[in-house]
Structure 1
Amino acid sequence: MTIEQLQAQHRTKMAEARALHQKIKGDLPEAEARGIEREFNLIMAEVDDLRDKIEAAKDAASTRSGDPRAPRGGDAEARGVDDGLGDGTFDGDSGAQIAPEQRCVAWAEARGQDAFSRLPVGRYLRSMVTGAETDLEKRALSEGSDSAGGYTVPTHLSARLIDTLRAASVVTRAGAKTVMLDGMTNNIARLAADPTPAWRAESAAVALSDPTFDNVQLVPRSLAVMTKVSVELLQDSINLEAELPRILAASLASELDRVALLGSGTAPEPRGIANTSGIGTSAVAAAIKYGDLARARTAILTANAGPVSAFIMHPRDEGALTGATDGTGQPLNQPAVLANIPMLTTTAIPVDGGTGTNESAVFAGNFAHLLIGVRSDIRIEVIREAFMGNLQYAFIAHLRADVAAQHPGAFYALTGVTPT
């Protein structure tokens, strides 16, 4: 059976599992709910088996192509759900820059960190509270536990969490690169000014034009999120293993998006694009128009920092832009030069700023010049006592990260954007 046929079967089984899950309602009789749960578990076992076959087929294809480093693909946590990130190969070095279409999992595997590749992240989180049920879970808990009662998530599982976070991140979809960090301070060289070539006569000296280098510094800063889960949900939920990592990752991704765009740079908050010296900027003081986006694009191209990979704005402003009409009520045509540039939206951009408390900002950029530095050692703390009066546990996910604009001229901020 081909990889495509296996993937088609995998999608079919996932659709069956989702349909079963939707049948479980609060008023469903217990016996019927348990029957559906058993059927769900059988289907998910088939899903896992198909996933393993897909990975084995990819391994075989990679071996035939002569690239033994090609990643196996497939994420045990996602159970076949596409996270929007492609495959990539790395040498495992610290400081690796991971493009949006590549995966942190491949970076971890290049470092030999694949001992827990078959352990879903959600199952690992559940085992922190309920105890290990398999030898693999026992080994993962043993490797990650510390005397303070917390857990440093094993590298492969951390990489899968980071991939889930990146899939939910707007700046990553726009083109931002993820940089895997090890030390406290990480310097990344950048070219601050281009060298200038010059024509020369035969046997004449070559004109000296030194490029100007400086560095971008990434210093991991602490970002944490807490979510509470009831004892009953931990014991009985049939989809918690997928939902808990997704919820934690999505909340972290939203805040990383916010600081990447708007971070003040005042400790402990990283400095975002809006507060980076050297970016282009102009005040709109009205609803955003296609002409404003074209002006931002022109500025970035003039700085030799193109092409523009995306515009990022609040959904309110995207709606106002695409819903604008001319004097006869006809929709405005988008200029051809903007047609192939994605317009991405995020609610991480506030819309209550300025004197009228209704202003926002729109960002244009070649987001390949935006770096998101992430430490691979995510920590998870389990709070067992504080909420036990309500029979709840709390999970605290602790990530260390930083952001930096590698080339300020690659970004342009349109400020003072209003609804009308």
Structure 2
Amino acid sequence: MIQRIKELRQRQETIAEEARERLNQINDNTDEARAAELETAHDTAMAEYDRLEKQIQREERQLEIEKSAEERRARNRPTGDDTETRGAGGDDPTPEYREVFSRVICGTAIVDLTPEERNVLKTGAARFENRAQTTGSNAAGGYTVPTELHGEIIKVMKMWGPMYDEDVATVMNTASGNPIQVPTVDDTDNEADPHTEGEELPDDGSGDVEFGQKLLNAYVYNTPFVRWSFELDTDGIANMESFLGFLIGERLGRIANRQLTIGTGTNAPNGILTASGQGLIAAAAGSLKFDEIMELEHSVDPAYRTSPKVRYMFNDNTLLAIRKLKDGDGNYLWQKGDVQAGIPANFNGRKYSINQAMPDIGAGAKPMLFGDFSRYFVRKVGAPVVGVMRERFWPDMGIAGLIRFDGELGDVNAVKHLKMKAS
């Protein structure tokens, strides 16, 4: 499968090069019919590029699932000292927490467990209390989800939402949900004064620093219950763990990314788009120009443009619309990366993040952000909580997720948006 992914990446590189060659053939002397033909061929090629990207993501995800399943099987295989296979008689090894947990949610009563299994369940619940399913009694589902499921949730959330990714924003992890005050200061208008020999330094309060603050709360969001049958669970617990981890992770990731992007700040996070300053208003309602993108970039102070986390942000439709834009030297703003060297694609020489919660290009919309995203603070409270119910859906099972987070832009000058003309 690794070779397959490598081949797909190489095909992407070839497609991008061919698409570039088609656009390079368009100049002032190209007739309209030929230009339209070349543009259509370019768009078709880039659609295939995007299709391959989605296929690569599926292949990589499947590879992770298979690797995780093989690791579980390896842990459960009999050792060379075993004289009989597990469950076939003899002294069985100590059961794993995951196995006992699976038996409980599939209908086995606590009293029917062996003393050793009950001890494993109790010990596991104590070790992973931060991932407890409920705060009710153990018999009602108060034990914790195995750590494999928790790990899958985190990975999927990063895939679905750049705003929840610590490589994009500044992430603050806290154990409790108490409000946090983040100090802010704007000292950009102050500077030192000339000094005259023999004069005392001023002590009139004119040099005092004025501090402000941003408040980070802990807003709670949940997924609906996902139900699955007793038969499906007993047929393959490893596959169900992976499947449910991805499914719940996607739902939690979508709401986290959307709120951290367009949250109103009223009983919700102050999303990066909502909190951002205005860079400029485009001249048209449905299209962008290179000059406008440069104006957006330079509306952000140079002090922020040197940050390691400075970047553009827009959705995939906006990226498609601006792939044909060129700079003043005739170079395309979008440049493909080097897969072999680990260099990602860039836009106008900068990193960019695809965020599907960003609006499309349209009248009055704000389809593009640029700035230092390290100044946006994402507060995560603990780990996502997963709850499993068996009595409620018996003989089937149900599982749901909860997540607590908040977000706030520490400095409105650090990230600016480009707004389209109203009409």
The two structures have a TM-score, normalised by structure 2, of: 0.59
CA distance in 1 between counterparts of 2:249 and 2:287 reads 32
Equivalent position SS for 1:409: coil
Give the deviation of 1:298 after TM superposition.
0.7
1:344 to 349, 353, 360: 353
CA distance in 2 between counterparts of 1:125 and 1:289 reads 57
Give the deviation of 1:202 after TM superposition.
4.3
1:70-108 Cα distance to aligned partner (Å, 9 max, x none): xxxxxxxxxxxxxxxxxxxxxxxxxxxxxxxxxxxxxxx
Matched residue type, 2:368 = V
Matched residue type, 1:240 = M
Give the deviation of 1:271 after TM superposition.
1.7
Contact kept? 2:300, 2:416, Cα under 8 Å: yes
Alignment of 1:406 with 2:399, yes or no, is: no
Equivalent position SS for 2:299: helix
2:178 to 184, 189, 194: 184
1:297-328 Cα distance to aligned partner (Å, 9 max, x none): 111125x43336221111111011113479xx
CA distance in 2 between counterparts of 1:257 and 1:275 reads 13
1:170-227 Cα distance to aligned partner (Å, 9 max, x none): 1226620111232421111122334533342445444552222111111101111133
Matched residue type, 1:315 = D
Distance change (3 Å), C-alpha of 1:371 and 1:347: same
Equivalent position SS for 1:251: helix
Alignment of 1:313 with 2:314, yes or no, is: yes
Contact kept? 1:221, 1:270, Cα under 8 Å: yes
1:332-371 Cα distance to aligned partner (Å, 9 max, x none): 522999543112212222449758xxx5622222110111
Distance change (3 Å), C-alpha of 1:317 and 1:137: farther
Contact kept? 1:310, 1:367, Cα under 8 Å: yes
- In structure 2, list runs of 5 or more residues that go unmatched: 1-58, 78-95, 336-345
Contact kept? 1:178, 1:371, Cα under 8 Å: yes
Give the deviation of 1:384 after TM superposition.
3.4
1:167 to 119, 142, 158: 158
Give the deviation of 1:135 after TM superposition.
5.3
Give the deviation of 1:293 after TM superposition.
2.8
Contact kept? 2:377, 2:409, Cα under 8 Å: yes
2:123 to 134, 139, 142: 139
Moved more, 215-224 or 342-351: 342-351
CA distance in 2 between counterparts of 1:282 and 1:407 reads 20
Distance change (3 Å), C-alpha of 1:289 and 1:162: farther
Alignment of 1:198 with 2:193, yes or no, is: yes
Matched residue type, 1:296 = L
Matched residue type, 1:184 = N
1:370 corresponds in structure 2 to 376
1:297 corresponds in structure 2 to 297
Matched residue type, 1:139 = T
Alignment of 1:220 with 2:218, yes or no, is: yes
1:129 to 98, 105, 109: 105
2:42 corresponds in structure 1 to none
Equivalent position SS for 2:223: strand
CA distance in 1 between counterparts of 2:271 and 2:286 reads 23
Contact kept? 2:69, 2:239, Cα under 8 Å: no
Moved more, 256-265 or 238-247: 238-247
1:381-406 Cα distance to aligned partner (Å, 9 max, x none): 22435655xx6422111111111001
Matched residue type, 2:415 = F
Matched residue type, 2:351 = P
Contact kept? 1:153, 1:377, Cα under 8 Å: no
Q: Which structure ranks higher in relative contact order (CA pairs < 8 Å, sequence separation ≥ 6)?
A: 2
Matched residue type, 2:376 = L
CA distance in 2 between counterparts of 1:243 and 1:217 reads 36
Give the deviation of 1:246 after TM superposition.
3.1
CA distance in 1 between counterparts of 2:76 and 2:199 reads 69
Matched residue type, 1:176 = A
1:258-295 Cα distance to aligned partner (Å, 9 max, x none): 1222111232x222123227554534522234433322
CA distance in 1 between counterparts of 2:65 and 2:181 reads 48
The two structures have a TM-score, normalised by structure 1, of: 0.59
2:281 corresponds in structure 1 to 282
Equivalent position SS for 1:254: helix
* Percent of pairs with identical residues: 15
CA distance in 1 between counterparts of 2:64 and 2:408 reads 45
Paired residues for 1:212-291 under 5 Å = 212-226=210-224, 227-237=226-236, 238-267=238-267, 269-276=268-275, 278=277, 280=279, 282-283=281-282, 285-291=285-291
Contact kept? 1:312, 1:343, Cα under 8 Å: yes
CA distance in 1 between counterparts of 2:215 and 2:146 reads 23
Matched residue type, 2:168 = G
Give the deviation of 1:164 after TM superposition.
2.6
Give the deviation of 1:158 after TM superposition.
10
Matched residue type, 1:200 = H
Distance change (3 Å), C-alpha of 1:43 and 1:335: closer
Matched residue type, 2:183 = A
Distance change (3 Å), C-alpha of 1:363 and 1:325: closer
Matched residue type, 2:179 = T
2:51 corresponds in structure 1 to none
